[in-house]
């Protein structure tokens, strides 16, 4: 009877009930759509970071804090053994998708033909491993990224950030648009390949080549200014020289063929970004010494597996690999931008959710207060014929709960429809951390937890907002209520 | 035999900063199975007295015993349950629940007594038949005339088989012809169901129809006129 009475009383004042319902629906839609939008950003960011740096990285202890750009001091020796151990560990193996090494180093990249150089951070990667990393798509994003530009290229091939290309005056040969050469820059005709290498650099490169050849028999040794022919795969590509310090502190130079400029989302990174093959980077840093890496990237099937995988890795580091000072870092630690961006959107979402909650609270409270005032004689009658105070309270609370439930359900339906329209509307935007526009997507469908959360939260809000008017109605003096005009 | 006993009952309302005594030391016994009219000018305290007897207000002092229960000491919830099982109410403005049908309005007090659904249905049909509204069972109050609404109210008041029915100016919103029929109905129901009815009214028709007449003035019982009561043969408490 309480339910029937609540339904009929809501239907009794249709306009007011519909207005209140509309407020709840709009609130639910706003929360779900914005929540779906931020969720998509979170997933997109996470996917981007996991595709590039994995879920976890095994690094030399303190590399994260102090070792950036110092592969000599913080390299992982015998890294292949570590990778094999991880790959074949019975606990970790079912969770793994990719285990791949990477070596990061600092150096100076120069286009000596144009007489320009700049400091860079170069990352040497196993390209096949990197391509495998890029296949991770736990959130069902549409489309799959293509292989890296370095795929199948000669060992001396490199990709640079557009900022690096701009400073090194490589825009024209790399066919980069909107990249004007600075005033007084040398023309392309004057930057013929192989010309202008300073004698000291040329001598250094000259001194290194034989050693490299000895270190990597059979490998395609990178060309230098001294005339080692570049592989045909990179013939015609502009060349740069990458100067770095070896693990022993001696300078070393690699001559790289820049095959592409890859715009990085952050300008600071774009201005220093150089990607090259792992072997090339290792030869540059470790020369004749055993090659090392600065990180072993570990990618898992699912992000939720991080705690278990991390625990197992740390156990291995404490036991089997205790002879090496290694530690494990997760992608959130390695990419503080992720946490900052998520925190930023969470703060906005929280603010919006609270705002909507307050609006719904006051709207429902107002509706219920008016209902209590209007039905005061009815309250008096019901109390007189024997309804307890709790019965009156229950009656009004039921109306609030019904409004909350109906509003939430309708809100979810409307949000699903709107999300579908938005997702199929061809709207694009450029999210943080990306350089290309992507379809604007709001993730509502297939996310039962947020929908359930919104329904519960809004129903709770209506319960809270109905509580005070209901209590007031229940405590109304019977005689006064019956006299109420 | 008295169904209601009041001993030195007083009630004072506070209006702003002024204390307004509504009842001053009322001593009164209301006989069982009688139709008792509380009469008197406005402000004499008859409605206050009816409210106290109906357990919807509390006396400041004195004892009030309704159907053998000292109601002044009962908690609010117990008093609610007591009203549901021992008392019935008929109001001047009928006070039916507008969103419920006539049938549901009559049924409502029965739900408070946890009566089984089938039994409830039977009881409601019987009560609506008794007040001549079987054909209107599915209508809501807004679809009924004033007289029909008051008949539904009478049926509702009697539905849970209370010992006492309290009526506050039950004919005040009705034309004289309808008022007469309502008085007649109440009188008949009171006799058939052997229930005690206490009516607060200005209406001479009502006062004239009463077995006992309690005249009040300035919060005091001025006089009580009791007539001989002949119980209808076969009449019994429901």
Cα–Cα dist B137/A133, whole Å: 74
Angle, in degrees to the nearest 10, between helices A336-374 and A389-423: 140
Q: CA-nearest residue of chain A to B105?
A: A382
Per-residue pLDDT tens listing for chain A (485 residues): 778 888 898 888 889 999 999 999 999 999 999 999 988 888 888 888 899 899 999 999 888 888 776 777 888 988 999 999 999 999 999 999 999 999 998 899 998 878 888 999 999 999 999 999 999 988 888 777 888 999 999 989 999 998 999 888 888 888 887 777 666 655 554 444 445 566 666 666 555 544 444 444 333 333 333 333 344 445 678 889 999 888 778 888 998 999 988 888 788 888 999 999 999 999 998 887 889 999 999 999 999 999 999 999 999 999 988 888 999 999 999 888 888 888 998 999 999 999 999 999 999 999 999 999 999 999 999 999 999 999 999 999 999 999 999 999 999 999 999 999 998 888 888 766 666 777 788 888 888 899 999 999 999 999 999 999 999 999 999 999 998 75
pLDDT of amino acid B230: 57
The minimum CA-CA distance between A467 and chain B, rounded to whole Å, is 19
pLDDT of amino acid A248: 78
Cα–Cα dist B37/B215, whole Å: 8
Residue A58 contacts residue A469 (beta carbons within 8 Å): no
Pairing mode of beta strands A116-125, A273-277: parallel
The single-letter DSSP state of residue A182 is P
Cα–Cα dist A167/A272, whole Å: 10
Question: Which one of A384, A391, A479 makes the best mutation probe of the B interface by having the most chain B beta carbons within 10 Å?
Answer: A384
Q: Give the percent of chain B with pLDDT over 90.
A: 68
Q: CA-nearest residue of chain A to B111?
A: A1
User: What are the residue ranges spanned by the domains of chain A?
Assistant: 2-45+339-483, 62-324
A386 in contact with B, Cβ within 8 Å: yes
- Range list of β-strands (E), A112-261: 116-125, 157-160, 239-245, 251-261
Tell me which H or E stretch contains A295. Answer: strand A295-300
Total number of residues shown for chain B: 238
Nearest by CB to residue B80, choosing from A381, A388, A479, is A388
Pairing mode of beta strands B2-15, B18-31: antiparallel
First to last CA, chain A: 26
Interface pTM, i.e. ipTM: 0.92
Domains of chain B: 2-226 (3.40.50.300)
Cα–Cα dist B94/A414, whole Å: 44
Name the residue among A44, A49, A136, A137 with its Cα closest to residue A437: A44
Q: Which long-range contacts (CB under 8 A, 24 or more apart) does B42-49 make?
A: B43/B218, B44/B216, B44/B217, B44/B218, B44/B219, B45/B11, B45/B216, B45/B218, B45/B219, B45/B220, B46/B200, B46/B214, B46/B216, B47/B168, B47/B200, B48/B11, B48/B22, B48/B23, B48/B219, B49/B6, B49/B9, B49/B23, B49/B200, B49/B216
Nearest by CB to residue B83, choosing from A11, A385, A389, is A385
Give chain B positions within 8 Å (CB) of A11: 99
Q: How far is CA B216 from CA A294, A483, B38, B55, B167, in A?
A: 102, 21, 7, 20, 16
**Do residue A478 and residue B57 have CB atoms under 8 angstroms apart?**
yes
Cα–Cα dist A256/A159, whole Å: 9
Name the residue among A268, A480, A283 with its Cα closest to residue A383: A480
A12 in contact with B, Cβ within 8 Å: yes
The minimum CA-CA distance between B219 and chain A, rounded to whole Å, is 17
Cα–Cα dist A267/A15, whole Å: 55
Name the residue among B150, B149, B157, B209 with its Cα closest to residue B184: B209
Give chain B positions within 8 Å (CB) of A478: 56-57
Cα–Cα dist A261/A135, whole Å: 22
Q: CA-nearest residue of chain B to A11?
A: B99
3-state secondary structure at position A300? strand
Nearest by CB to residue A5, choosing from B76, B85, B99, is B99
Q: How far is CA A431 from CA A38, A143, A273, A368, B119, in A?
A: 10, 16, 20, 43, 68
Nearest-10 Cα torsion for A253, A256, A262, A268: 10
CA–centroid distance for A63 within its chain: 22
Please list the ranges in chain B whose pLDDT falls under 70.
229-238
Q: Which chain B residues have any C-beta within 8 angstroms of a chain A C-beta?
A: 51, 54, 56-57, 76-77, 80-85, 87-89, 91, 93, 95-100, 104, 108-109, 111-112, 156, 160
pLDDT of amino acid A64: 86
The minimum CA-CA distance between A479 and chain B, rounded to whole Å, is 6
DSSP letters spanning A397-429 = HHHHHHHHHHHHHHHHHHHHHHHHHHHTTT-EE
Give chain A positions within 8 Å (CB) of B108: 1, 382, 385
Nearest by CB to residue B112, choosing from A5, A381, A386, is A386
Q: Could you tell me the pTM of the whole model?
A: 0.76
Site of tokens 């770095």? A244
Question: Which one of B48, B51, B55, B99 makes the best mutation probe of the A interface by having the most chain A beta carbons within 10 Å?
Answer: B99
Cα–Cα dist A456/A208, whole Å: 68
A478 in contact with B, Cβ within 8 Å: yes
CB pairs under 8 A between A and B: 69
CB atoms within 10 A of CB A14: 10
Backbone region of residue B165 per phi and psi (left: phi > 0; alpha: psi in -120 to 50; beta: other values): beta
């Amino acid at each position: 009877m309480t339910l029937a009475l609540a339904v009929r009383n809501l239907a009794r004042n249709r306009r007011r009930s519909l207005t209140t319902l509309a407020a709840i629906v709009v609130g639910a839609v706003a929360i779900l759509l914005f929540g779906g939008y931020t969720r998509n950003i979170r997933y997109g960011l996470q996917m981007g970071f996991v595709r590039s740096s994995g879920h976890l990285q095994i690094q030399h202890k303190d590399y994260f804090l102090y070792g950036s750009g110092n592969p000599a001091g913080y390299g992982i020796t015998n890294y292949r053994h570590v990778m094999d151990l991880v790959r074949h560990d019975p606990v970790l193996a079912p969770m793994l998708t990719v285990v791949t090494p990477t070596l990061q180093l600092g150096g100076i990249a120069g286009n000596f033909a144009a007489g320009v150089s700049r400091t860079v951070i170069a990352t040497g990667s196993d390209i096949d491993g990197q391509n495998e990393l890029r296949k991770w798509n736990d959130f069902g994003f549409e489309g799959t990224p293509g292989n890296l530009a370095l795929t199948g290229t000669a060992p001396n091939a490199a990709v640079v950030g557009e900022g690096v290309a701009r400073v090194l005056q490589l825009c024209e040969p790399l066919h980069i648009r909107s990249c004007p050469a600075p005033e007084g820059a040398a023309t392309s005709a004057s930057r013929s390949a192989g010309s202008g290498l300073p004698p000291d650099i040329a001598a250094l490169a000259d001194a290194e080549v034989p050693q490299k050849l000895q270190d990597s028999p059979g490998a395609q040794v990178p060309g230098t200014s001294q005339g080692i022919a570049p592989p045909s795969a990179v013939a015609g590509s502009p060349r740069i020289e990458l100067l770095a310090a070896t693990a022993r502190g001696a300078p070393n130079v690699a001559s790289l063929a820049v095959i592409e400029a890859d715009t990085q989302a952050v300008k600071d990174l774009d201005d220093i970004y150089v990607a090259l093959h792992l072997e090339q980077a290792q030869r540059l840093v470790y020369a004749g010494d055993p090659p090392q890496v600065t990180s072993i990237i570990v990618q898992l099937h699912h992000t939720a597996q991080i705690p278990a995988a991390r625990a197992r890795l740390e156990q291995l580091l404490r036991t089997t690999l205790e002879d090496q000072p290694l530690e494990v870092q997760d992608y959130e630690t390695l990419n503080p931008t992720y946490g900052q961006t998520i925190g930023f959107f969470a703060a906005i979402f929280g603010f919006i959710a609270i705002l909507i909650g307050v609006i719904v609270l006051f709207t429902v409270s107002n509706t219920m207060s008016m209902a209590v005032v209007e039905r005061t004689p009815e309250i008096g009658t019901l109390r007189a014929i024997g309804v307890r105070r709790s019965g009156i309270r229950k009656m009004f609370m039921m109306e609030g709960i019904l409004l909350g439930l109906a509003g939430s359900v309708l809100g979810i339906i409307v949000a699903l429809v709107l999300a579908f329209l938005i997702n199929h509307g061809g709207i694009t935007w450029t999210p943080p951390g990306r350089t290309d526009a992507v379809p604007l997507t709001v993730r509502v469908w297939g996310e039962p937890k947020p929908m359930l959360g919104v329904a519960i939260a809004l129903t709770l809000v209506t319960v809270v907002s109905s509580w005070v008017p209901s209590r007031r109605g229940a405590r109304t003096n019977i005689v006064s209520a019956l006299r109420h005009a | 035999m008295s169904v209601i006993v009041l001993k030195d009952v007083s009630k004072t309302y506070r209006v702003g900063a002024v204390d307004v005594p509504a009842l001053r030391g009322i001593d009164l016994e209301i006989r069982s199975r009688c139709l008792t009219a509380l009469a008197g000018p406005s402000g004499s305290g008859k409605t206050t007295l009816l409210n106290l007897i109906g357990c919807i207000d509390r006396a400041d002092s004195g004892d009030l015993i309704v159907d053998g229960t000292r109601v002044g000491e009962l908690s609010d919830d117990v008093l609610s349950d007591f009203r549901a099982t021992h008392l019935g109410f008929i109001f001047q403005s009928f006070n039916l629940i507008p969103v419920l049908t006539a049938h549901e309005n009559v049924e409502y007090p029965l739900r408070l007594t946890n009566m089984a659904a089938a039994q409830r249905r039977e009881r409601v049909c019987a009560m609506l038949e008794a007040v001549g509204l079987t054909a209107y069972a599915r209508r809501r109050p807004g679809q009924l005339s004033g007289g029909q609404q008051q008949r539904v109210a009478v049926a509702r008041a009697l539905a849970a088989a209370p010992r006492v029915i309290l009526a506050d100016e039950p004919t005040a919103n009705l034309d004289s012809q309808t008022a007469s029929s309502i008085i007649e109905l109440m009188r008949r129901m009171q006799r058939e169901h052997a229930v005690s009815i206490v009516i607060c009214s200005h209406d001479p028709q009502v006062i004239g129809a009463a077995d006992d007449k309690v005249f009040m003035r300035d919060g005091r019982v001025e006089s009580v006129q009791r007539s001989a009561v002949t119980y209808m043969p076969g009449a019994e408490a429901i």
